[in-house]
Amino acid sequence: MQTSLQPIFIRGLRIDPPLLLAPMAGLTHTVLRQVLLGFGGVGLLSTEMLSAKRLPTENPAISPYLIRTASEKPLSYQLLISMAGEIARAIDVLHAVHADAVDLNMGCPAPAVGRFGAGFSLMEQPENVRPIIAEARKRTSLPLTAKIRLGTELDEQRLRSFCTMLEDEGIDMLSVHARLKHESFARRPRWEHIAGIKERLKIPVIANGGIFSVQDAKDCLAASGADGLMLGRGAVIRPWLFAETARELCGNSIAEPAVFLPTVYGRFLDLLFEHFTPERRLGRLKQFTTYFARNYAFGHHLATKVQASNSVEEARERASRFFAKAHNTVVTECTEKSLP
Ligand SMILES: Cc1cc2nc3c(=O)[nH]c(=O)nc-3n(C[C@H](O)[C@H](O)[C@H](O)COP(=O)(O)O)c2cc1C
């Protein structure tokens, strides 16, 4: 049974500790990444999914999807892609912004994404995947990774042959969100099904889904035997979760995180002002707060008050009042129950 993790090396990229940030639309932008880096323990950061078709029209200096600071390294950029013809120009952009890795989204089950043949629908049409990987492989020597779900239904053979195909075509590392296409986030993730994939592949396999505590990370590792773990919502609720996990599972000598929730929230707000234009701030604050509020027994009050705010200033004021009253209602446990 696997109980610890070793650094991962792919094409000259060192992922140490092998703890990865999950790509999350509206959440994994420069501000959250910087907050995470403040605590440490992240081996590979990520953007949210970026439309390969639209990417060449974005201005990296002002695009909310592309702005980043030099400290955000290593940083993987995730592409939402449906055909090989979209690859070349998208990869040119990723080279220009100094991407450290390129990830291909093959797991997003949203119907709006599937209609264009992207996201999870690539898992349903493996014949469309080969030319995309072949073209990407031709265009870049950066690490090329993929993120998948377990499938439409449990079909071990189909899943394994899909993953083997990814490896054979040149994917360097595979992240697996341990749920089926239509399974909601409320369902317990099927970490044990990652073990079958790991057994088959030579490339590193990363387990994702439902890690909200160090204990979850240990359980996920034991069940999956993965080479690394990918944290999503758990790290939005607790940006220090990477640091805690790195200490426990990777023998990392990182300092024990000192956490004062209002300070973490304040840092997020300050960075929002620093990096985003006014019209981009409030939506991102609301989305972050939905998760961060889970640190409090009555966090739904915080989330509701921020949701109802008409400006970031108003939200900040309301949050300050909440923090002043709620300091002794901090919770130490958090589960997936009813989380979006
Ligand atoms: C708000 C939100 C946005 C997401 N956006 C993406 C995305 O852009 N690309 C992607 O591959 N997965 C996306 N996901 C899925 C996550 O990467 C991850 O697989 C999922 O949240 C399970 O991991 P977790 O339980 O650690 O959050 C998103 C999930 C959430 C909650």
- 230: domain CATH number is 3.20.20.70
Catalytic residue check, 108: yes
Nearest CA to ligand 1 atom 5: 24
d(CA 210, CA 243): 17
| CA 328 to ligand 1 centroid distance, Å | 31
Evaluate whether residue 2 is within a structural domain.
Answer: no
Ligand 1 closest atom vs CA 49: 8
Report strand pairing: 13-15 vs 8-10.
Answer: antiparallel
From the list 232, 213, 246, the residue with the least C-alpha distance to 23 is 232
Q: How far apart are the first and last CA of the chain?
A: 31
Would you state the structure tokens that stand for residue 308, as one six-digit string?
């109802």
Structural element, H or E, at residue 221: helix 214-224
| pLDDT at res. 211 | 97
d(CA 321, CA 26): 26
Note whether 64 and 132 are same-domain residues. yes
Ligand 1 closest atom vs CA 189: 25
| pLDDT at res. 198 | 97
Q: Is 103 in the pocket of ligand 1 (CB under 6 A)?
A: no
Evaluate whether residue 339 is within a structural domain.
Answer: no
Nearest CA to ligand 1 atom 26: 232
Q: Is 49 in the pocket of ligand 1 (CB under 6 A)?
A: yes
Report strand pairing: 19-21 vs 45-51.
Answer: unpaired
Q: Is 197 in the pocket of ligand 1 (CB under 6 A)?
A: no
| pLDDT at res. 60 | 94
Q: Is 238 in the pocket of ligand 1 (CB under 6 A)?
A: no
Of 249, 274, 307, the domain-final residue: 249
Report strand pairing: 144-151 vs 101-106.
Answer: parallel
d(CA 115, CA 120): 10
- Residues comprising the chain, all counted: 340
Q: Is 218 in the pocket of ligand 1 (CB under 6 A)?
A: no
Phi/psi of residue 51, each to 5°? -65, 120
From the list 184, 252, 181, 182, the residue with the least C-alpha distance to 217 is 252
pTM above 0.95, yes or no: yes
Residue 38, SS3 per DSSP: helix
- Bridge partners of residue 146, in order along the sequence: 104, 174
Note whether 239 and 265 are same-domain residues. no
Residue where the block lists tokens 């994702």: 208
Note whether 243 and 295 are same-domain residues. no
| pLDDT at res. 338 | 65
Enclosing domain of residue 61: 8-249
Note whether 122 and 157 are same-domain residues. yes
| pLDDT at res. 337 | 61
Nearest CA to ligand 1 atom 22: 209
Note whether 110 and 203 are same-domain residues. yes
Evaluate whether residue 25 is within a structural domain.
Answer: yes
Note whether 234 and 299 are same-domain residues. no
* pLDDT by residue, tens only, the chain of 340 residues: 889 999 999 999 999 999 999 999 999 999 999 999 999 999 999 999 999 999 999 999 999 999 999 999 999 999 999 999 999 999 999 999 999 999 999 999 999 999 999 999 999 999 999 999 999 999 999 999 999 999 999 999 999 999 999 999 999 999 999 999 999 998 899 999 999 999 999 999 999 999 999 999 999 999 999 999 999 999 999 999 999 999 999 988 888 888 999 999 999 999 999 999 999 999 999 999 999 999 999 999 999 999 999 999 999 999 999 999 987 788 877 766 667 7
| CA 255 to ligand 1 centroid distance, Å | 28
Note whether 132 and 273 are same-domain residues. no
